[in-house]
Structure 1
Amino acid sequence: MAQTQYFPLLLIALCSISECVQRQYHFINEEKEWAEAQRYCREKYTDLATVDNMNDMIQLNKSVNVNVNDGVWIGLQGTNDSNWHWSSGDPVFFVNWASGQPAGSNNCTVMTNGKWFVGSCSNTWTFICKMSGGLVFVNQTMNWRDAQSYCRQNHIDLVSVRNQNESQQLEKFINDSHKFGSEVWIGLFSDPWQWSDKSNSSFRYWNAEKAKAPDDKHCGVVEMSNQGQWSDYLCSVRWQLPFVCHEDKLIVVQQNLSWSEALRYCRQNHVDLVSVKSVEMQYKVMNVVKLASTEAVWLGLRHSCALGIWFWVSGETVCYQYWAPGNGTSEEDCEPTVRSGAVQSGGNQTWISRPETDQLNFICTNY
Structure 2
Amino acid sequence: MAKPLNFPLLLIALCSISESVQHQYHFINEKKNCTEAQRYCREKYKDLATVDNMNDTIELIKSVNNARVQNIWIGLQRTSVYKWHWSSGDPVFFLNWTSEEPAGNNECTVMNNGQWINEACNNTRVFVCYNMSRGLVFVNQMMTWRDAQSYCRQNHIDLVSVRNQNENQQLEKFINDRNSSGSAVWIGLFRDSWQWSDQSNSSFRYWDTGEPNNGGEYDNCTVIGANAQRGWADVPCDNRQIPFVCHEDKLIVIQQNLSWSEALRYCRQNHVDLVSVQSVEMQRRVMNVVKLASTEAVWLGLHNFCSVNMWLWVNGDMVCYQNWAPGNGSTPENCKLENRKGAVQSGGDQTWISLPESHRLNFICTNY
> Structure 1 length as normaliser, TM-score?
0.88
The secondary structure found in structure 1 opposite 2:74 is strand
How far apart in 1 are the matches of 2:174 and 2:18?
A: 31
Deviates further, 62-71 or 49-58: 62-71
Offset, 1:322? 1.4
How far apart in 2 are the matches of 1:274 and 1:324?
A: 18
Aligned partners of 1:259 and 1:356 also within 8 Å = yes
Offset, 1:310? 2.7
* Deviations, residues 146-173 of structure 1 (Å, cap 9, x unaligned): 2212222333221222233322221112
Question: Equivalent residue for 1:242?
Answer: 243
* Deviations, residues 132-188 of structure 1 (Å, cap 9, x unaligned): 413332222222112212222333221222233322221112111143641111110
One-letter amino acid of the structure 2 residue matched with residue 232 of structure 1: D
Question: Equivalent residue for 1:52?
Answer: 52
Offset, 1:306? 5.9
Question: Equivalent residue for 2:223?
Answer: 221
1:198 aligns to 2:199 (yes or no): yes
Aligned partners of 1:71 and 1:225 also within 8 Å = no
Aligned partners of 1:302 and 1:313 also within 8 Å = yes
Question: Equivalent residue for 1:79?
Answer: 79
Question: Equivalent residue for 1:7?
Answer: none
User: Within 5 A, what are the aligned runs for 1:266-277?
Assistant: 266-277=267-278
How far apart in 2 are the matches of 1:277 and 1:155?
A: 20
* Deviations, residues 272-296 of structure 1 (Å, cap 9, x unaligned): 1012233332233222222222221
Aligned partners of 2:14 and 2:318 also within 8 Å = no
Question: Equivalent residue for 2:141?
Answer: 140
User: Within 5 A, what are the aligned runs for 1:294-333?
Assistant: 294-304=295-305, 308-331=309-332, 333=334
How far apart in 2 are the matches of 1:182 and 1:365?
A: 47
Aligned partners of 2:106 and 2:118 also within 8 Å = no
One-letter amino acid of the structure 2 residue matched with residue 118 of structure 1: N
The 1:301/1:50 distance shift into structure 2, 3 A limit, reads: same
Aligned partners of 1:47 and 1:247 also within 8 Å = yes
How far apart in 2 are the matches of 1:225 and 1:179?
A: 39
Question: Equivalent residue for 2:7?
Answer: none
One-letter amino acid of the structure 2 residue matched with residue 258 of structure 1: S
The secondary structure found in structure 2 opposite 1:206 is coil
How many pairs were matched up? 355
Deviates further, 304-313 or 99-108: 304-313
The runs of 5 or more residues in structure 1 that have no matched partner are 1-11
1:168 aligns to 2:172 (yes or no): no
How far apart in 2 are the matches of 1:81 and 1:157?
A: 25
Aligned partners of 1:105 and 1:191 also within 8 Å = no
Runs of 4 or more above 6 Å deviation: 214-217
Aligned partners of 2:124 and 2:145 also within 8 Å = yes
Offset, 1:13? 9.6
* Deviations, residues 167-211 of structure 1 (Å, cap 9, x unaligned): 222111211114364111111000001111222111111122233
The 1:230/1:178 distance shift into structure 2, 3 A limit, reads: closer
Aligned partners of 2:162 and 2:168 also within 8 Å = yes
Aligned partners of 2:47 and 2:75 also within 8 Å = yes
The 1:178/1:108 distance shift into structure 2, 3 A limit, reads: closer
The secondary structure found in structure 1 opposite 2:252 is strand
Offset, 1:34? 1.1
One-letter amino acid of the structure 1 residue matched with residue 234 of structure 2: D
How far apart in 2 are the matches of 1:171 and 1:99?
A: 17
The secondary structure found in structure 2 opposite 1:329 is coil
Deviates further, 324-333 or 347-356: 324-333
Offset, 1:14? 7.6
The 1:252/1:225 distance shift into structure 2, 3 A limit, reads: same
How far apart in 1 are the matches of 2:333 and 2:341?
A: 10
The runs of 5 or more residues in structure 2 that have no matched partner are 1-11
1:96 aligns to 2:109 (yes or no): no
Offset, 1:307? 5.6
1:62 aligns to 2:62 (yes or no): yes
Question: Equivalent residue for 2:4?
Answer: none
Identity %: 69
Question: Equivalent residue for 1:121?
Answer: 121
Q: CA RMSD in A?
A: 2.5
> Structure 2 length as normaliser, TM-score?
0.88
One-letter amino acid of the structure 1 residue matched with residue 33 of structure 2: E
The secondary structure found in structure 1 opposite 2:15 is coil
